[in-house]
Structure formats: structure tokens, C-alpha cells
Amino acid sequence: MQTLAEIRELLESRGLAPRKKLGQNFLLDHNLIRKLVDAAGVGDGDLVLEVGPGTGALTDELLDRGCAVVACELDAGFAELQRERQAGAVRAGRFLLIEGDCLAGKRGLNPAVTGALAGRPFTLVANLPYGAATPLMLALLCDPTCSGQFVTIQREVADRLLAGPGSKAYGSISVVAQTLAEVERVATLPPECFWPRPDVTSAMVALRPREGHGVADRAGFAAFCQRVFANRRKQLGGVLGGVALPEGVDPTDRAERLDVRTIAGLFRSIGSG
């Protein structure tokens, strides 16, 4: 595992430095890195997607446990660093680096990442750059080949994933996540766990696919949730254009007051409207 002194030396020797705009805050606590991988339960032969590998501390842990890793790194300098550090794993066919944004637009994975995963079941294990967290997690919730997401993210995003109706944090990502997955807060991480220290508290969360959720069109469901929460305080009758609502849902109801099960049932009943 890398110490702070080793990370500093590694970056200084290559003229690299963390870039705040890319959310490059590196997790220093080795026990927390192991805790995240333990929660994921990945090991020999499992395919893992890692986004934002940075200096490679989490990558090392995943490779040490026998995983095959597809990593996506936006920063060219850190991408080159990873190619050098993981040269042996590259030769062994256990590490593949995609240089570029993990997303294509706001809703889909970079085609290069999709191509590298090649339709195989995979697990996301990552210390996610804060700016990419919500759109990436939403995209993977809609991907049936994703076997789970185990990530470090901003605590505010974790709160949104776990929020219930009536709270300010409750929104479309809450409903999509809780319908399609079992969501668990694994740990809360203060800023001093990272270098450089971020301005916010972070959290580790686990999203494990939920069986029997009954949503056949995941992307359609995500779009539906975004639609009904776009004007969260507007009555559903107006948002949905006067379509017939199922029993138990009133046109004067507002999405922010409906529980997850009711919104999922509403989608199954009327679809996109």
C-alpha cells in the first residue's frame, strides 16, 4: 500500500500534481481501501471496473486479490503512470487502461469502456471523482451486466441514494437506486482520510442488485423518475399530462411525497405516459 510520502515522491518524479477540478483526492487509509474491496467481495477472476485509479492504491489491492481490472482515467499523466506501474498485469491480461472520460454524454458509458467490458458481468469498485459519481452510478444501475457498485463518493450523494420521501435529499436517484438495488452505507470518511483533503466529507456505499424489482425497462424508468422529479413540488396530474393514474395515486400527489414502491408501481402502470 502507498504511503503519503510515496505518493508525493511518485508524482513529483513525474511532474504530476492532483487537480481539484478532476476531483483527484487520494484515499490514504489502507484499512478503508481493504474495507471497500471486502464489501465488494471480488476476488480471483472477477472483472472489475475502476474509474479514476489515480496513483493506483486501490488498483493494487484489486490485482493482489486476483481480479481483472478495466480502469478508466481521464488525466493523461496519471494514465501514463498507471501503464508503467501495472505493466506486469497488462502483459498478464489482467489490466486494461482506457484513457478518457468514463461517460459519453451524461447517460451512457464511454464506448471504449463498454467495448473493454465486452458484455461480461462486472463490478464497479472505485474512489469516484465527485463530478462523475451520480451520472455514472445511474448509468450502471441501468446496466444489467453490472453486478454491483462499491464506491467512495461525496456524503451528500450517499445521502441522496438513501433518502426517503419528504426529505430534501429525496429525488430521482433515490428512487432508481432503491428500486433496482439494495443500498448500504459502508463507512463515513472525514476529509483527513484523503490527500489533498477535500472540502467535504465522503462516504463509502454499496449498491447490490435487487432481485424481483419488476422493472423491465431500466433506462425508461430512470427517465420517468427524472421527469416526475423535475418539478418535484408540482402535482403529478400536471406533470404527467392528465393520464389515468392507478388506484391509490391521486392527481394532486407530488413525487417528493410518494415512496419508492409507489413511484415504481406508477411507472409499471403507465410507463412513460
Residue 244, C-alpha cell as written in the block: 389515468
Q: What is the pLDDT of residue 21?
A: 84
Q: What is the pLDDT of residue 168?
A: 95
Peptide linkage before 135 cis (omega within 30 of 0): no
d(CA 73, CA 58): 13
Q: What's domain 4-209's superfamily in CATH?
A: Vaccinia Virus protein VP39 (3.40.50.150)
d(CA 269, CA 187): 37
| pTM of the complete model | 0.95
Q: Which option is the CATH number for 218-270: 3.40.50.300, 1.10.8.100, 1.10.3210.50, 3.40.630.30?
A: 1.10.8.100
How many other CB atoms are found less than 10 A from the CB of residue 35? Answer: 15
Q: Give tens-digit pLDDT for 140-177.
A: 999 999 999 999 999 999 999 999 999 999 999 999 99
First to last CA, the chain: 52
Residues of the chain with CATH 1.10.8.100: 218-270
Residues of the chain with pLDDT under 70: 271-273
Cβ(65)–Cβ(43) under 8 Å? yes
CA atoms within 13 A on the CB side of 70: 22
d(CA 98, CA 116): 8
Within 8 A by CB and 6+ apart from 143, the residues are: 109, 218
Q: What is the pLDDT of residue 273?
A: 46
Q: What is the dihedral of CA 137, 141, 142, 143, to 10 degrees?
A: 90
Query: What's the count of helices (H) and strands (E) in the chain, helices before strands?
Result: 12, 11
For residue 1, how far is the Cα from the chain centroid?
24
Residues of the chain with CATH 3.40.50.150: 4-209
Percent of the chain with pLDDT over 90: 83
Radius of gyration of the chain (CA): 20
Letter string b/e over residues 191-210, b meaning 16 or more CB atoms within 10 A of that residue's CB:
eebbbeebeeebbbbbbbee
Within 8 A by CB and 6+ apart from 122, the residues are: 47, 48, 49, 70, 145, 146, 147
d(CA 83, CA 90): 8
